[in-house]
Amino acid sequence: PFLPFNKFLDEVGKKVSIIIHSNKLPILLGGEHTVTLPAVQYVKPDALVLFDAHLDLRDELNGFRIGHGTWLRRLLESQHLDVLAVGARAFSQEEISFAHVKNIFFIPPFEKNIEKLKDWLKRYRKIYLSIDLDVFDPAYTPEVGNPEPFGISPREFLSLLMFIPFNRVCGFDIVEAAPTEEKETTTTILAAKIVLELISNFIY
């Protein structure tokens, strides 16, 4: 059965809490990016690495204050968290102003500064990864909620992933997949491959 949105977010938070208390790693997969809000609230990391074409820092979107375009603003209003935004390329002046207030650190899609990434990551003990599939160019992930041109490639994503200290990663999600058919597509194949790549980093 369908749940009211707030109830749905509460249920996500409860499930993440159960996973954490079982000393397991929370992994969230799906569509709506708002699931990251309760996940991070329960995981309580020091830092969030956000792979996303958008900043999701609007105060409201289409009359709603909680949703895929506002969840990060709500999160940063409720708890202290340092954020690294990788691949952002579509945002409003309102979002940029809020990002500057919160000292959000940026790596644009056209910048491959590995040293900046490494220097930023080494400050934190608990890191949460959130991967919105629209961070990729639509040539690779056409079936997402809000595709945005001039994104990164899967190869560029993997090159950045190599420098993530996975012994300090406390959870991750892959979101905003919106396949239109019940069969494999380039979007779902890439999403599945990213899951395998991420999990393998915790094994080896």
Q: Mind listing the pLDDT tens digit of every residue in the chain (204 residues)?
A: 566 888 999 999 999 999 999 999 999 998 899 999 999 999 999 999 999 999 999 999 888 889 999 999 999 999 999 999 999 999 999 999 999 999 999 999 888 778 888 999 999 999 999 999 999 999 999 999 999 999 999 999 999 999 999 999 999 999 999 988 777 889 999 999 999 999 999 876
Q: What per-residue confidence (pLDDT) applies to 72?
A: 98
- Cα(125)–Cα(27) distance, rounded to whole angstroms? 18
Domain range annotation of the chain: 32-203
Global model pTM greater than 0.85: yes
- Cα(53)–Cα(90) distance, rounded to whole angstroms? 6
Q: Taken in order 115, 116, 117, 118, is the CA torsion positive or negative?
A: positive
Q: What per-residue confidence (pLDDT) applies to 197?
A: 96
Q: What per-residue confidence (pLDDT) applies to 38?
A: 96
Q: What per-residue confidence (pLDDT) applies to 2?
A: 64
Q: What per-residue confidence (pLDDT) applies to 76?
A: 98
Main-chain dihedrals φ then ψ at residue 169, nearest 5 degrees: -85, 130
Superfamily of chain region 32-203: Ureohydrolase domain (3.40.800.10)
